[in-house]
Amino acid sequence: MNLRKLICFFSITCLSLMLAPTGVMSQQKSLKDQLLGTWAYVSSTAKAPDGGPFWGASPKGLMIFTENGRFSWQVFRSDRPKFASNNRLQGTSDENKATLQGSLAYFGTYSVNEADKSITTHVEGSTYPNSEGEDQKRIITLLTEEELRYENPVTTRGDRIEAVWKRVK
């Protein structure tokens, strides 16, 4: 092959690569990279004793994954009663019970297993003290730019649920 043909071939190859769609050139993001950021709670399959949704009709929640391996998770029922005293340290037994049973929050570190598409959290602090020190595994069943679904094989109530989250922008 003469020099002229080699330069022509090289030029065409470079031009083709520059014009190729970016997805062809870029690698798939890792599972951890796809999880990074803030997610808003949408729903779960958890059921209350009466058969309704465990977290009520309009739950509120956030889950955050940071680049340095930290996470925070919290979900609250929106129908929790306000404290009549307007002081969180002076709630009645019923107000405190509704608050505790209508919310769950925990934080700690996390790791991602790319092979089995799972997240394992190590709980450092929780509104449910029995979870502190535990490792909790979640199996990712769907992950897109906008939505995360995972299965929790064993919740703090002992059941298996799927949770749905939406990316916060």
Within a domain: 11: no
Within a domain: 129: yes
How confident is the model at residue 26, as a pLDDT?
47
Other CB atoms within 10 A of residue 37 CB: 15
Q: What is the CATH number of the domain that holds 128?
A: 2.40.128.280
Within a domain: 5: no
How confident is the model at residue 24, as a pLDDT?
42
Within a domain: 46: yes
How confident is the model at residue 2, as a pLDDT?
65
How confident is the model at residue 3, as a pLDDT?
54
How confident is the model at residue 4, as a pLDDT?
62
Within a domain: 150: yes
Mean pLDDT per 10-residue interval, the chain, length 169 residues: 54 48 60 97 92 92 98 96 96 96 97 97 97 97 97 85 96
Within a domain: 37: yes
Considering its fold, how many domains does the chain have in total? 1
Enclosing domain of residue 146: 27-167
